[in-house]
């Protein structure tokens, strides 16, 4: 009985020490940016591995994918989970939290921040770093020099999709890191990050295409949802952002971030996702045309023989 009580007391003592360690170091205000970035990197790794494990057992099409397609399959799950997380947090801060409320007398709205708002931005920085790291680490497995340089796609004269992804993530990392470390412009950063609500639909479109469901009703519904999501999150939302910036411009005239980075980040994000859809649809269309041409060729050959 005495041994059991000593064991319980020892466990409680270790628990209290662990809680104090977390409170004094891991979640202390000066360390939140760094712990949140590491947490974001760890979460990305965990989601990637879990996706690979679950997909192996529950998705038959996963086994038939190439190595590169499996990597992208796993990577897009990372992107989807991050989008749900950061979009939900952004909606909370922009529309429901008192942190950026106009009625709160806590200084200029453009310079407000909290431990939670800093933590959320740090997780996003961790995700962007993980995604950029994967692109660079796998180079040139996923393609040639166009991964890092500007190039033109045949017949379309648009920038390489992967180049846009690198540019987008680089701008996002710089913008979000600046807001996280300085505490400036976090409201507008979260406003822009609401546009991540369109990312799951973009990724679902790729999943359906890869699984051979491009002619299914789900693919059609996905396209409609993407259109509506873009209308709200990429058009109406940015009109609201510019209007809000105009109303509070006098609060951040010395803050160049308010006039540049949110718009650059949002614009690059929009271009990246738009090119993602266009490129995937273009590839799918070319594949369909090639398949039809092959079938017609076979039919003509059989007819002549």
Q: What are phi and psi of 153, to 5 degrees?
A: -85, 140
pLDDT at 165: 65
| b/e map 234-259, b = 16+ CB within 10 Å | beebbeebeebbeebeeebeebebbe
Give pLDDT, residue 145: 47
Low-confidence winner among 128-132, 185-189, 253-257 (lowest mean pLDDT): 253-257
- DSSP letters along 137-196, please? HHTTTT-SGGGTS--B-TTT--B-HHHHHHHHHHHHHHHHHHHHHH--SHHHHHHHHGGG
Burial of 301 (0-12, 13-18, 19+ CB in 10 A): exposed
Whether the predicted pLDDT of 301 surpasses 60: no
pLDDT of residue 10: 67
Indicate yes or no: pTM above 0.85: no
> What pLDDT does residue 149 have?
45
HSE (side-chain half, CA atoms, 13 Å) at 101: 9
Query: Is the pLDDT score of 103 beyond 80?
Result: no
3-state secondary structure at position 108: coil
* 167 burial type by CB count under 10 A (0-12 exposed, 13-18 middle, 19+ buried): middle
Per-residue pLDDT tens over the stretch 265-293: 544 454 455 555 545 554 544 444 444 44
Tens of pLDDT along 28-81?
Answer: 567 899 999 999 999 999 999 999 999 999 888 898 898 888 998 999 999 999
Burial of 91 (0-12, 13-18, 19+ CB in 10 A): middle
In tens, the pLDDT along 193-247 reads 998 999 999 999 999 998 888 889 999 999 999 999 989 988 899 899 888 888 8
| pLDDT tens column, 150-169 | 434 434 434 455 566 667 67
The mean-pLDDT minimum among 52-61, 83-92, 243-252 falls in 243-252
Distances (CA, A) of 240 to 94, 173, 279: 12, 23, 29
Of the candidates 31, 274, 253, the residue with the CA atom closest to the CA atom of residue 156: 274
The torsion defined by the Cα of 264, 267, 270 and 271, in degrees rounded to 10, comes to -100
Q: What is the mean pLDDT of residues 119-144?
A: 81
> Cα-flanking dihedrals φ and ψ of residue 248, to 5°?
-115, 20
Both tokens assigned to 177: 């890191």
Residue 129 in this model has a pLDDT that exceeds 60: yes
Assess whether pLDDT exceeds 80 at residue 256: no
> So what's the pLDDT on residue 144?
43
């Amino acid at each position: 009985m005495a041994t059991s009580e000593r064991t319980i007391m020892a466990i409680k003592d270790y628990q209290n020490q662990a809680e104090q360690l977390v409170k004094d170091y891991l979640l202390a205000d000066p360390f939140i940016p760094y712990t949140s970035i590491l947490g974001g990197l760890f979460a990305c790794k965990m989601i990637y591995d879990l996706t690979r494990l679950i997909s192996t057992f529950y998705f038959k099409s996963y086994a038939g994918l190439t190595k590169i397609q499996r990597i992208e399959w796993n990577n897009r799950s990372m992107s989807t989970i991050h989008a749900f997380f950061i979009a939900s947090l952004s909606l909370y801060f922009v529309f429901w939290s008192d942190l950026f409320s106009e009625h709160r007398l806590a200084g200029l709205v453009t310079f407000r921040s909290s431990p939670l708002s800093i933590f959320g931005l740090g997780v996003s920085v961790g995700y962007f770093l993980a995604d950029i790291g994967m692109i660079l680490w796998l180079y040139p497995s996923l393609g040639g020099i166009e991964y890092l340089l500007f190039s033109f796609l045949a017949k379309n004269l648009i920038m390489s999709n992967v180049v846009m992804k690198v540019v987008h993530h680089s701008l996002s990392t710089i913008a979000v890191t600046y807001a996280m470390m300085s505490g400036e412009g976090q409201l507008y950063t979260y406003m822009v990050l609401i546009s991540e609500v369109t990312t799951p639909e973009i990724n679902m479109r790729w999943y359906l295409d890869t699984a051979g469901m491009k002619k299914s009703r789900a693919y059609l519904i996905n396209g409609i949802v993407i259109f509506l999501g873009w209308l709200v999150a990429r058009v109406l939302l940015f009109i609201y952002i510019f209007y809000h910036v105009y109303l509070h411009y006098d609060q951040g005239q010395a803050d160049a971030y308010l006039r540049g980075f949110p718009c650059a980040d949002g614009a690059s994000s929009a271009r990246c996702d738009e090119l993602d859809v266009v490129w995937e649809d273009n590839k799918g269309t070319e594949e369909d045309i090639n398949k039809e041409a092959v079938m017609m060729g076979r039919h003509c050959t059989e007819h002549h023989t």
